[in-house]
Amino acid sequence: MSEGRDSAVGEQGVIRPEKATKRPAGKSAKKPVERPEGKSARKPAAKATVKAAAGSGWKPESRLAMVRRARKINRELAELYPYAHPELDFRNPFELLVATVLSAQTTDLRVNQTTPALFAAYPTPEDMAAAVPEEMEELIRPTGFFRAKTKSLIGLSAALRDNYGGEVPGRLADLVKLPGVGRKTANVVLGNAFGVPGITVDTHFGRLVRRWKWTEQEDPEKVEAEIATIFPKSEWTMLSHRVVFHGRRICHARKPACGACPIAPLCPAYGEGETDPEKARKLLKYEMGGQPGQRLSPPADYPGRPAPALGAG
């Protein structure tokens, strides 16, 4: 377990109360943002003002204040999740591409439990392009939408074989031409297999950046474009991992664990979920709640337990 994680998380992955509940008492909790000092603090223009969350008491802030708050959240998340990583098991760009396509409308855990048999049967694009559809469908059935996914996987594998010499291309423009591959999938592959910075806007990422008032956009491409203006390009890939990690572990869609959230003082949506620290800690998931993660083969620095294989519980 890394030193950065120890500063935020106690034994068995449970957030320490003093970190999790660090929120100013009374009205002082309404002023979490860092603002410019002295006369240099300009009065925000109307279109540069972020509206307060309904019923939260969160005050409007200038774009400059929002950017500073957003970057502070990113720094806090980096301390909380120094081990953040893609939660799909893969050994090469082709496996990551296939796993990401399979991850649509299912969990990374279910994909990770499914891909070992799939890659044993079809280890290369050439092998997968020649697959009998009915046989592949049975292998990926646990991920759902298996007929459509089989069609996409055979199609993209054939395109890799015929157009790219059996190699996954390292350019966004090429990746999005492949069957079943959109910008989200392309950015996952570029950022994690090729080291090319990209922002991955999945449901968790979109939900959190709207809760945090970084954007009001709903369309993933517009979300990506707006968030890209807030952070330097070098941060894009890891920012994506950190935000997704937080969404899966603490800031859940239906019942956020607000009372166990280390960035609560920076969150306009604080109070949408459980604020009692003890009750909130019971909502924590994966390593934060002492439970297995999603990967069967997690990175060496992952502090939690590996996920079980398919059928192992």
Arithmetic mean of pLDDT, 59-86: 97
pLDDT of residue 311: 81
pLDDT at 268 exceeding the cut of 90: yes
7 pLDDT higher than 90? no
The percentage of the chain sitting over the pLDDT mark of 90, rounded to a whole number, equals: 80
Record the tokens describing residue 19, joined without a space: 């970190």
Distance between CA atoms of 168 and 65, rounded to whole angstroms? 41
> Residue range 200-213: average pLDDT?
97
- Residue with more model confidence, 313 or 123: 123
- Tokens representing residue 292 in the block: 């297995």
Count CA atoms within 13 Å of residue 172 on its CB side: 12
Query: What would the two tokens of residue 33 be?
Result: 């943002």
Annotation marks residue 255 as catalytic: no
Compute φ and ψ for 89, nearest 5 degrees: -75, 130
Three-state SS for 4? helix
Q: What is the mean pLDDT of the chain?
A: 86
Structural element, H or E, at residue 107 = none
pLDDT at residue 52 above 80? no
pLDDT of 56 reads: 55
Q: Give dist(CA 191, CA 36) in Å, integer.
A: 33
- Lowest-pLDDT range of 19-28, 106-115, 123-132, 201-210: 19-28
Task: Band the pLDDT of 42: cuts 50, 70, 90.
Answer: very low
pLDDT at 44 over 80: no
Q: Nearest to residue 57, comparing CAs of 28, 20, 21, 23? A: 28
- The span from the CA of 274 to the CA of 44, in Å, is 33
Q: What pLDDT does 26 receive? A: 43
Annotated active-site residue in 30, 202, 279, 285: 202
Does residue 34 contact residue 69 with C-beta atoms inside 8 Å? yes
User: Among 90, 27, 73, 102, which residue's Cα sits nearest to residue 250?
Assistant: 73
pLDDT grade for 40, boundaries at 50, 70 and 90: very low
What mean pLDDT is predicted for residues 263-272? 97
pLDDT range class, residue 59, cuts 50, 70, 90: confident
Between 278 and 34, where is the model more confident? 278
User: What is the predicted pLDDT for the residue at 16?
Assistant: 35
Q: How many other C-beta atoms can be found within 10 angstroms of the C-beta atom of residue 21?
A: 19
* Contacts for 86-89: CB closer than 8 Å, 24+ residues apart: 86/188, 86/192, 86/241, 87/112, 87/244, 87/248, 87/293, 87/294, 87/295, 88/112, 88/188, 88/295, 89/115, 89/116, 89/295, 89/296, 89/297
Give the integer Cα–Cα distance in Å for 157 and 114.
18
Residues in the chain: 313
pLDDT by residue (tens digit) across 98-155? 999 999 999 999 999 999 999 999 999 999 999 999 999 999 999 999 999 999 999 9
**Sequence-distant (≥ 6) Cβ neighbours of residue 84 within 8 angstroms:** 77, 78, 238, 241, 242, 245
Task: Output 298 or 45, whichever has higher pLDDT.
Answer: 298
Residue 44 in tokens: 């925000």
Q: Is 202 a catalytic residue?
A: yes
Q: Which residue has the higher pLDDT, 23 or 226?
A: 226
pLDDT at residue 5, as a whole number:
34
Strand residues in the chain grouped as ranges (E): none
Active-site choice (89, 108, 149, 184):
184
Helix pair angle (183-193, 220-228), 10° resolution: 40
Which helix (H) or strand (E) element contains residue 280?
helix 277-281
